[in-house]
C-alpha cells in the first residue's frame, strides 16, 4: 500500500521519458509540461541520430530541472532485454526517486503525449490535490487525427478520438508488482483512480483499457499526438520498434477517422494566448531557432527513406504495410501500393479471397481500384453475397463522394 502524504508535504512531480529522434518536438513538449507545473523532466535518448542532444543541452543549461541522459548502455543487454528499454529506464528512474527522495510523484510519458487540463489553467499539483495525493491516477488519451499542418505546435482547439488507454501518474511510494505501458500492476489488488475520482475498472478482454461505462473526456486528459500530420506520420513510422527487424512501426493501425469517439476541446482563448506567449519566450531563451532547421531536416530525410523503401517492403510485409499506411493519401505512396496490388491481383486472379482483401485495402485510398477487384471477384463467383454487398457499399460511397 502507499505511504500517505501529509497535507503539508511539498509535492514534487517528475516526468520521465524515453525519446528517439524527436529533436523537432522536444522544445514544445518540455515547455508544455513546465508551463503546467511539473517540477522536473528527465529525458533518456536512445538509438538517436538527430540533434536531440544539442537541443536538450541548450534547454538544460538554462533549465537545470530538465535533464537528459544517453540510454544506449541498454543495447549491451541481451536482445530480449533491449526490447524492454522503456521499462528498464522507468524502473531505474523510479528506484532512484525513491532512494534520494527527489520526487513525490512520477509520470512516464512519451514525447507525443501532452498532459492537459480542459480549463488550460489548472496545474498538475492542483490536479493532484483535487483528486488525491495518495492515489495513482489514470489519465485517458485523446488521440489526434493526423490532420495538423506540418510541425504544428499545440492548437487552441483539439480534435481527437477518445481512447480507453492512457497513462498513470504514480506516487513514488506506490508498491508495484510490474510496470506496464498504461496501468501498472500494484500490490494487494490496488488500482488507480480516474481523473474524475472514480476507481479504474479495466475491460474484460483488455485490462490496460478503462471500461466503456467509465471512459469519457474528463477535466484532465493526455493529448496523444501520435500522428501529427499525414507527412509526419509517415516519417515517424520509419522509427521502427526496439528489438524488431521490421523497419516500420508495426504497432500502428493507420490514420484514424473522425467518428463517434471524436471530441473537440476548445481551450479558453485568453489562457491559450498566455501559453503561446510563454512558448515563444521559452523558444527564444533556449535558442530553438538555431537547432530547429536541422531537426526538421532529419524528419524530411526520414520521410524520404520511408517512402523509398515501401516497394521493397511490400512483398514480404504487405499485410502489415497495408494496415499501418491505412488512411495515408499521399500520391507517391498510394501509387506504390496500387502498383503492388495490381501485380498481386494478376498473380492471384482466380482467388476470390485475395481479391476481396485487396479491395478492402484499396477502398480507403481509391474506390475505383477497390471496385475493380470486386468486379473481378464477382466474375469468378457471380452469386457471392459478400462480394455483392461490398460492391454495393463501395459504389454507394463513390456516389456520396461525387455528390
- Would the pLDDT of 7 be above 90? no
- Would the pLDDT of 2 be above 50? no
Phi and psi, residue 178, nearest 5°: -160, 130
Summarize pLDDT for 18-62 with one digit per residue, the tens.
999 999 999 999 999 999 999 999 999 999 999 999 999 999 999
Per-residue confidence at 1, pLDDT binned at 50, 70, 90? Answer: very low
- Would the pLDDT of 6 be above 80? no
> β-pairing, 157-171 with 262-266?
antiparallel
* The domain over range 329-402 is classified in CATH as 1.10.10.10: no
Percentage of residues of the chain with pLDDT beyond 90 = 87
> DSSP letters of 256-321?
---STTEEEEE--HHHHHHHHHHHHHHHHHTTHHHHHHHHHHHHHHHHHHHHHTHHHHHHHHHHHH
Hey, where are the domains in the chain?
A: 13-292, 329-402
Summarize pLDDT for 242-279 with one digit per residue, the tens.
666 788 998 899 999 898 899 999 999 999 999 999 99
Give 123's contacts (C-beta < 8 A, 6+ positions apart): 36, 37, 117
Q: Worst-scoring range by mean pLDDT, 113-117, 199-203, 381-385?
A: 381-385
CATH placement of domain 13-292: 3.90.550
What pLDDT does residue 245 have? 74
Summarize pLDDT for 203-242 with one digit per residue, the tens.
988 999 999 999 999 999 999 999 999 999 999 999 877 6
What pLDDT does residue 38 have? 98
Ordered alpha helix ranges (H), 168-250? 230-237
Per-residue confidence at 80, pLDDT binned at 50, 70, 90? Answer: confident
What is the pTM (predicted TM-score) of this model? 0.93
Amino acid at each position: 500500500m502507499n505511504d500517505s502524504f501529509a497535507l503539508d508535504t511539498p509535492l514534487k512531480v517528475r516526468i520521465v521519458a524515453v525519446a528517439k529522434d524527436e529533436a523537432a518536438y522536444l522544445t514544445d513538449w518540455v515547455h508544455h509540461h513546465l508551463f503546467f507545473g511539473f517540477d522536473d523532466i528527465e529525458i533518456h535518448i536512445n538509438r538517436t541520430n538527430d540533434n536531440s542532444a544539442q537541443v536538450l543541452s541548450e534547454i538544460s543549461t538554462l533549465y537545470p530541472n530538465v535533464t537528459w541522459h544517453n540510454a544506449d548502455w541498454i543495447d549491451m543487454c541481451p536482445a530480449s532485454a533491449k526490447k524492454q528499454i522503456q521499462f528498464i529506464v522507468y524502473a531505474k528512474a523510479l528506484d532512484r526517486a525513491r532512494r534520494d527522495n527527489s520526487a513525490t510523484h512520477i509520470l512516464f510519458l512519451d514525447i507525443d503525449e501532452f498532459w492537459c487540463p480542459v480549463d488550460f489553467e489548472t496545474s498538475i499539483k492542483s490536479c493532484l490535490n483535487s483528486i488525491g495525493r495518495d492515489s495513482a491516477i489514470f489519465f485517458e488519451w485523446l488521440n489526434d487525427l493526423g490532420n495538423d499542418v506540418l510541425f504544428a505546435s499545440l492548437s487552441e482547439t483539439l480534435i481527437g478520438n477518445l481512447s480507453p488507454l492512457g497513462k498513470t501518474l504514480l506516487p513514488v511510494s506506490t508498491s508495484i508488482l510490474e510496470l506496464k505501458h498504461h496501468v501498472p500492476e500494484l500490490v494487494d489488488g490496488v488500482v488507480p483512480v480516474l481523473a474524475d475520482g472514480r476507481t479504474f475498472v479495466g475491460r474484460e478482454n483488455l485490462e490496460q483499457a478503462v471500461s466503456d461505462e467509465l471512459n469519457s473526456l474528463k477535466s484532465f486528459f493526455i493529448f496523444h499526438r501520435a500522428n501529427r500530420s499525414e507527412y509526419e506520420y509517415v516519417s515517424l513510422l520509419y522509427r521502427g520498434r526496439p528489438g524488431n527487424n521490421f523497419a516500420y512501426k508495426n504497432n500502428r493501425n493507420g490514420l484514424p477517422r473522425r467518428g463517434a469517439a471524436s471530441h473537440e476541446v476548445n481551450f479558453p482563448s485568453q489562457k491559450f494566448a498566455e501559453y503561446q506567449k510563454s512558448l515563444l519566450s521559452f523558444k527564444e531563451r533556449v535558442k530553438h531557432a538555431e537547432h530547429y532547421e536541422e531537426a526538421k531536416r532529419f524528419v524530411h530525410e526520414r520521410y524520404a527513406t520511408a517512402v523509398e523503401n515501401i516497394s521493397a517492403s511490400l512483398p514480404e510485409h504487405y499485410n502489415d504495410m497495408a494496415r499501418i499506411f491505412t488512411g495515408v493519401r499521399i500520391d507517391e505512396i498510394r501509387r506504390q501500393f496500387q502498383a503492388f496490388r495490381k501485380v498481386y491481383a494478376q498473380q492471384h486472379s482466380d482467388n476470390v479471397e485475395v481479391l476481396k482483401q485487396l479491395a478492402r485495402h484499396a477502398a480507403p485510398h481509391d474506390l475505383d481500384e477497390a471496385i475493380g477487384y470486386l468486379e473481378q471477384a464477382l466474375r469468378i463467383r457471380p452469386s457471392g453475397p459478400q462480394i455483392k454487398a461490398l460492391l454495393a457499399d463501395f459504389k454507394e460511397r463513390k456516389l456520396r463522394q461525387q455528390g
